[in-house]
Amino acid sequence: MYFTDRGIEELESRRGEEEVSLAWLADKLRAFVDANPEFETPIERLATYLARDEDELED
């Protein structure tokens, strides 16, 4: 198990039943980067990964 899996599991257990919009997620990611600018690159990579179609990821 990766260390990040614990955070993902916590997210799922605390908020897994909620429905959120992508606009809400984008706002949360922006707020996180504003508070933690050292994570700008990983957040950008995550956002790009989530934005792309699965077919695009295989290229």
Which residues of the chain form beta strands (DSSP E)? none
Report residue 51: phi and psi, to 5°.
-75, -30
Task: Give residue-wise pLDDT tens across range 6-58.
Answer: 988 999 999 999 999 999 999 999 999 999 999 999 999 999 999 998 776 66
Q: What is the pTM of this model?
A: 0.76
On the 0-12 / 13-18 / 19+ scale of CB atoms within 10 A, 29 is middle
